Amino acid sequence: QQPVQSPQAVILREGEDAVINCSSSKALYSVHWYRQKHGEAPVFLMILLKGGEQKGHEKISASFNEKKQQSSLYLTASQLSYSGTYFCGTGSSYNTDKLIFGTGTRLQVFP
Amino acid sequence: DVKVTQSSRYLVKRTGEKVFLECVQDMDHENMFWYRQDPGLGLRLIYFSYDVKMKEKGDIPEGYSVSREKKERFSLILESASTNQTSMYLCASSFAHKTNEQFFGPGTRLTVL
């Protein structure tokens, strides 16, 4: 039931791009993206909603394909500060604010 | 700044003990959540509360209970701790409605011996 994230891990050099995917087996209403740095709490990045609305981070972009029940997070010109574990959280019901989080994608950016 | 605080960063308990994990938020959020984080398994929802005294089970509620007597405080209770409950526990809160971001606390690393 947890959404599947891919890849599980990514290693980049500064300035390179990465795409993290999140795929659900259920119809989605919303997809949330969070980043967790080592030893810290997860921090909100972005929300994508059914119908195309987005709220969130200015320097990170994402897409949401409602038909395929998938979302992708695009990290362009990566910086050292992008390192961490990225989680997608999916909301699939109109009647609850609960999210189901994926297993995470670990991103490491090196100089 | 929104603050979500958890009572302990590290906790060590013995098998069979009753364990209380406390979470407090200062932003008047309606929703509060308890997650468990384990390597390779991501964040799994244990319980969710959308109002005082109101709760919903998450994906892994077995072995846990919760209490929300005041809006700002949400407690996770392990009635009889077991070694398989050794984990990182994260509390989060948000305003009502699914489009609102969740704010997470720093986590409590619980070890059950």
pLDDT (average), residues A77-87:
95
The pLDDT score that the predictor gives to residue B98 is 67
Q: Do A101 and B103 touch (CB under 8 A)?
A: no
- Residue B97 binned pLDDT confidence (cut-offs 50, 70, 90): confident
Where does B4-112 sit in CATH, by number? 2.60.40.10
Tokens linked to A28: 């989605």
Partner B contacted by A57 (CB < 8 A): no
Q: What ranges do the domains of chain A cover?
A: 4-102
Tokens linked to B71: 């809006």
Tell me, rounded to whole angstroms, the distance of Cα B100 from its chain centroid. 18
Fold of A4-102: Immunoglobulin-like (2.60.40)
**Residue B92, min C-alpha distance to chain A (Å):** 10
| Calpha distance B81→A84 (Å, rounded) | 31
Q: Do A42 and B45 touch (CB under 8 A)?
A: no
**Which residues make beta-bridge pairs with A35?**
A43, A86
The number of beta carbons lying within 10 Å of the beta carbon of residue A27 is 12
Partner A contacted by B35 (CB < 8 A): yes
**Residue B53, min C-alpha distance to chain A (Å):** 16
3-state secondary structure of A36: strand
The pLDDT score that the predictor gives to residue A56 is 67
Q: Do B42 and A103 touch (CB under 8 A)?
A: yes
- Residue A92 binned pLDDT confidence (cut-offs 50, 70, 90): confident
Q: Do B43 and A1 touch (CB under 8 A)?
A: no
B19: amino acid identity, one letter: V
Partner A contacted by B96 (CB < 8 A): yes
Encode pLDDT of B34-89 as tens digits. Answer: 999 999 999 999 999 999 999 999 999 999 999 999 999 999 999 999 999 999 99
Q: What chain A residue is nearest to B97 in terms of C-alpha separation?
A: A97
